[in-house]
Amino acid sequence: MVIESTPMALMQAAELFRAVFDRSPAGLFVYDTDLVVRECNDVFLSLLNAGRDLVIGLDMRRIPDKRFLPTVEAALLGEATSYMGEYIAPPSNETVIVVLRCTPLRDLDGTVSGAFGILEDDTQRARMESDLREQLALVQRQAATIRALGTPILKVWDQVLCLPVIGVVDSARAAEMTETMLRSITRDRTRFAVIDLTGVELLDTATAQHLMQLFRAASLVGTEAVLCGIRPAIAQTVIDLGIDMTTISTKRTMYDALKYCLMQLEVSRTRRGG
């Protein structure tokens, strides 16, 4: 493809470039090697809230906010750079978030003769990202709260903890239950961990295996797991699945389970006293 270089073609190209320059939604400006602004569009003027007579010919080193200077200076060294930060927009003194990108301009021999800058108001996007981060943090806090409510470890007596299980126990929840229970057992030096299944209506193979893992984990740290609240349907399921519950203390109700734990603690104290 051959690009015409006739005066008319060059004039048309210059007019096209000027139209794009002026109508760009971003603030565009050109500056020389002395950091003096030589040209800009109306968007750039509006971002600075200044007239053309004040901006054209402005030495950028005279602008009070110096945080952007390393970016515009780096472009004159031949490096495309960017800067993002706050800007106090006069006369309202409203704080806006701006993004500044600077690219070196070179002569035909490669010498840097100035630089081209793009200035954009990024306040809305930055605020949206901040709002999204806050919402994500809120969701994470809510999820943590829900997990804590789904695995409430209750200290019902000295050396006795209780875990009421309600609803469906999947792999993720079972892991959370085991971790939380073991952490509480270690912290409180628990002798007995009561697992209350009153709120569980169905028990499948996976759930039963999860519970057995919890019982074994408690046993490994020296804590006796006591199971209570087993409904007739769940008891039948345990039998049908062939799950061995002979090594686990089972009680009908929470009252019976706590009574058993307290009696065992009293027996231990009596033996130590004797």
| Three-state helix/strand/coil letters over the chain | CCCCCCHHHHHHHHHHHHHHHHHCCCEEEEEECCCEEEEECHHHHHHHCCCHHHHCCCEHHHCCCCCCHHHHHHHHCCCCEEEEEEEEECCCCEEEEEEEEEEEEECCCCCEEEEEEEEEECHHHHHHHHHHHHHHHHHHHHHHHHHHHHCCCEEEECCEEEEEEECCCCHHHHHHHHHHHHHHHHHHCCCEEEEEEEECCCCCHHHHHHHHHHHHHHHHCCCEEEEECCCHHHHHHHHHHCCCCCCCEEECCHHHHHHHHHHHHHHHHHHHHC
Indicate the domain borders of the chain. Answer: 18-123, 147-273
Mean pLDDT of 167-177: 73
Residue 163 pLDDT more than 90? no
Q: Which residue type sits at 89? A: A
Rounded to 5°, angle at Cα 187 from 184 and 189: 95
Q: What pLDDT sits at residue 211?
A: 77
Q: What pLDDT sits at residue 87?
A: 74
Q: Over the chain, what is the mean pLDDT?
A: 81
- 96-121 b/e (C-beta count within 10 Å ≥ 16 → b): ebbbbbbebbeeeeeeeebbbbbbbb
Q: Which residue has the higher pLDDT, 100 or 154?
A: 100
Mean pLDDT of 209-230: 84
Which CATH architecture is the domain 18-123 placed in?
Answer: 2-Layer Sandwich (3.30)
Q: The domain 147-273 is classified under which CATH number: 3.40.50.11030, 3.10.450.50, 3.40.50.450, 3.30.750.24?
A: 3.30.750.24
Residue 273 pLDDT more than 80? no
- The yes-or-no answer to whether 18-123 and 147-273 have a common fold is no
Token pair recorded at residue 88? 């106090």
Mean pLDDT of 110-114: 92
Task: Give the model's confidence band at 114: pLDDT under 50 very low, under 70 low, under 90 confident, else very high.
Answer: very high
CB 226 within 8 A of CB 195: yes
Q: 207-211, 213-217, 225-229: which range is least confident on average? A: 207-211
Residue 2 pLDDT more than 70? no
Q: Which residue has the higher pLDDT, 231 or 35?
A: 35
Q: 99-103, 104-108, 145-149: which range is least confident on average? A: 145-149
Residue 10 pLDDT more than 50? yes
Q: What is the pLDDT of residues 139-158, one digit of tens each?
A: 666 656 555 555 678 888 88
Mean pLDDT of 247-270: 87
Quote the CA–CA distance of 100 and 117 in Å, as a whole number: 7
Q: 79-93, 110-124, 155-169, 252-266: which range is least confident on average? A: 79-93
Q: What pLDDT sits at residue 152?
A: 77
Token pair recorded at residue 169? 């126990």
Q: What pLDDT sits at residue 146?
A: 53
Q: 40-44, 45-49, 204-208: which range is least confident on average? A: 204-208
Token pair recorded at residue 104? 């070196």
